[in-house]
Amino acid sequence: MPPHTTPADGPSSGAPALLPGAEPWSRPPRPREGEPRVGVLVQHGFTGQPAAMKPWAEELSARGWAVEVPRLPGHGTTWQDCNTTGWDDWCAEVLAAHDRLRATCDVVVAAGLSMGGALVLRLAADRPDAVDGVVLVNPAVATHRKDVLALPLLQHVVGSFPGIAGDIAKPGVSEQGYDRTPLRAAASMMRGWAGVRRDLGRVTAPVLYLRSDVDHVVDEASEPIITAGVAGPVTRVALPDSFHVATIDHDLPRIVSSSIEFVEGLPSVRTQRLG
């Protein structure tokens, strides 16, 4: 057990205020002449918030694409608030953002960082005909850590462990995530992982897999499971100069250029462009 834990705190009284940068962010499609209306869902990870995804989202929006950056329930407020939410709540938020994009776009791509990657894989497995591509940055659907085996019991007696936010190589950059890891929410996330792993074969869309060479949060367990498990083709891109939160780290330009190239090369984009 980590050296410092907190009791299993209940929810804070009243609705907690949003932290700076936690507001969801969206832009409508502005397609260029002859181009399809493209939409991209950009999803933050566990204990993170939209601020870590906004620089990437802004670059995608500059292409004229619609962008949705949802705030997951229980995120961008307090870790105690996060402990009152779980996998089903987060999936519902991702699905709602996807539906907003589908209402205005011809092509929809789902992108996610860390747990956000697991959530967009869940979406792509559940809606294979409505997700045209998947972009993953250091996604998590498994771990080699043995201490997580105690989560089903610990979540009832311990509120949180030390946080996982802030794994960034670039000096002076903050993820603005929680400094504590809410254990009830973490246990729910890992239950959700099991379903994602089981249904990876239903992910038929092309996948862009971006992985940091050094990641102190997500270990190597997830990559072979995802890349071997999905049914669609996988393109892997290494991120040599970033840690876990690569979306605001040194490799952001590589993420931007790779994801733009990936989206523009999707069969659904090429077909509609020619049509």
Give pLDDT tens digits for 29-63.
Answer: 999 888 999 999 999 999 999 999 999 999 999 99
Question: Stretch 144-157: mean pLDDT, rounded?
Answer: 66
The pTM for the full model equals 0.92
Q: Is the pLDDT of residue 157 over 90?
A: no
The total number of structural domains in the chain stands at 1
Largest CA distance in the chain: 61
46 is in an annotated binding site: yes
Angstrom distances, CA of residue 78 to CA of 40, 46, 51, 92, 204: 27, 12, 15, 20, 36
**pLDDT of the residue at 160:** 77
Q: Is the pLDDT of residue 11 over 50?
A: no
Q: Which helix (H) or strand (E) holds 136?
A: strand 133-137
Q: How confident is the model at residue 4 (pLDDT cuts 50, 70, 90)?
A: very low
In a domain, 166, yes or no: yes
Distance separating alpha carbons of residues 81 and 87, to the nearest angstrom: 14
Question: Stretch 147-153: mean pLDDT, rounded?
Answer: 65
In a domain, 27, yes or no: no
Task: Report yes or no: 272 and 36 within 8 Å, Cβ to Cβ.
Answer: yes
In a domain, 26, yes or no: no
| CATH assignment at residue 194 | 3.40.50.1820
Q: How confident is the model at residue 211 (pLDDT cuts 50, 70, 90)?
A: very high
Phi first, then psi: what are they for 199, rounded to 5°? -105, 15
- Identify the active-site residue in 26, 44, 98, 114: 114
Q: What b/e sequence results for 127-145 when a residue is b if at least 16 CB atoms lie within 10 Å of its CB, and e otherwise? A: beeebbbbbbbbbbbbbee
- Identify the active-site residue in 61, 212, 244, 251: 244
**pLDDT of the residue at 10:** 45
Instruction: State the residue range of the domain holding 252.
Output: 36-274
Q: Is the pLDDT of residue 210 over 60?
A: yes
Question: Stretch 77-104: mean pLDDT, rounded?
Answer: 97
Q: Is the pLDDT of residue 98 over 60?
A: yes
216 annotated active-site: no
The residue ranking higher by pLDDT, 203 or 166, is 203
Pairing of strands 66-69, 25-27: antiparallel
Angle in degrees, CA 235, 240, 241, rounded to 5: 135
190: amino acid identity, one letter: M
In a domain, 169, yes or no: yes
Q: Which of 66, 73, 75 is nearest to 98 (CA)?
A: 66
* Mean of the per-residue pLDDT values of the chain: 91
In a domain, 179, yes or no: yes
**pLDDT of the residue at 12:** 45
In a domain, 98, yes or no: yes
**pLDDT of the residue at 6:** 47
Contacts of 92 (CB under 8 A, 6+ apart): none
Q: How confident is the model at residue 111 (pLDDT cuts 50, 70, 90)?
A: very high
Contacts of 263 (CB under 8 A, 6+ apart): 38, 40, 65, 107, 109, 133, 135, 269
In a domain, 16, yes or no: no
9 annotated active-site: no
pLDDT digits (tens, 9 = 90+) for 219-235: 999 999 999 999 999 99
Q: Across the strands, what pairs with 25?
A: 69
88 annotated active-site: no
Q: How confident is the model at residue 176 (pLDDT cuts 50, 70, 90)?
A: confident
**pLDDT of the residue at 152:** 67
Query: Would you give the DSSP letter of residue 119?
Result: H
Q: How confident is the model at residue 156 (pLDDT cuts 50, 70, 90)?
A: low
- Identify the active-site residue in 81, 215, 249, 251: 215
Contacts of 3 (CB under 8 A, 6+ apart): none
